[in-house]
Amino acid sequence: MAEHQLFRKRVLVTGGAGFLGSHLCQRLLDAGHDVLCVDNYYTGRRSNIEHLFANSRFEALRHDITAPLFVEVDEIFNLACPASPVHYQFDPVQTLKTCVHGSINMLGLAKRIKGKIFQASTSEVYGDPLVHPQLESYWGHVNPLGPRSCYDEGKRAAETLFMDYHRQHGVDIRIARIFNTYGPRMHPNDGRVVSNFVIQALQGQDITIYGDGSQTRSFCYVDDLIDGFLKLMEQSGTIGPCNIGNPNEFTIRQLAEAAVEMTGSRSKLVYLPLPTDDPKQRQPDITLAREALGWEPAVQLREGLERTIAYFDQLLAGKRSI
């Protein structure tokens, strides 16, 4: 028997047909585990997981986690929730229900099966931060009443639920705070800055920058992020929250210029008003991830952009299905 089969688990991934979820499902299968992918396909896409259907250890179930789920698994990765402003603001009440009701349902399942559960939280819990870079001990600067609040406050409430289930019921939890992530299988219409800039550049359209482009972000390639997920889940030294992201900081204008240059585009940069509550800066302090997980990102922006551009180039050419 292969060594990895001695530790074979049945793992539930909610939001498993999404951008991050589909990569996680692949990695878990590669490690020899059985995977139950649950998704309601609001933003997840069947095309993200079609290549996994032939694997006998992979199962896909259409389900919305705001309703209870009764399955037998060993571990849970809770990734279900729209993560881009375009999608989470379309139905803000449902977004908040996914964060709160969905977390309650998944935590209840973890309590019943006595299994470990991972929460995909977000750097949005820091809001428009007054501390830079952001440490896990920072409580954040968040508007509870704005158009982004359904997501920001939903994820903050989810972290509260995870900590309370841990303290009150002894549920074995892990919480990761995800910073901007990009790579193949991003939804082409999700409105996120990397996919927006790459698609606009490939199509020769104007590159739309919100604000003056001086606001900063830190971009983590998806493979690095999934490495961080798995390392956080496997260790027992910390339950989190733990920042998972690339600490290298870039302005939005620098990203736009890189997209134009790397695609050989003639696109021009145009500037539009900054959306409400859009943070001016976002950069993770990953000291905890380095010390507790032995993790730090390996793929830097230019290399990751090359892979992402190649993916969207094929998508726009009709060689990949949307």
Catalytic residues: 151
Is residue 60 within 8 Å of residue 17, measured between CB atoms? yes
Give me the numbers of helices (H) and strands (E) for the chain, helices first please: 9, 13
Could you give the CA distance from residue 30 to residue 238 in angstroms, rounded to a whole number?
Answer: 25
**97 burial via Cβ count (<10 Å: 0-12, 13-18, 19+):** middle
Could you give the CA distance from residue 280 to residue 128 in angstroms, rounded to a whole number?
Answer: 6
Q: Which ranges constitute the DSSP H helices of the chain?
A: 19-30, 85-88, 92-113, 149-169, 193-202, 222-234, 252-263, 287-288, 301-316
Token pair for 295: 């993790």
Could you give the CA distance from residue 37 to residue 166 in angstroms, rounded to a whole number?
Answer: 24
**Other CB atoms closer than 10 Å to residue 270's CB: what's the count?**
12
Could you give the CA distance from residue 235 to residue 65 in angstroms, rounded to a whole number?
Answer: 26
Q: Spell out the residues 6+ positions from residue 139 whose beta carbon is closer than 8 angstroms to its own.
A: none
Is residue 239 within 8 Å of residue 171, measured between CB atoms? no
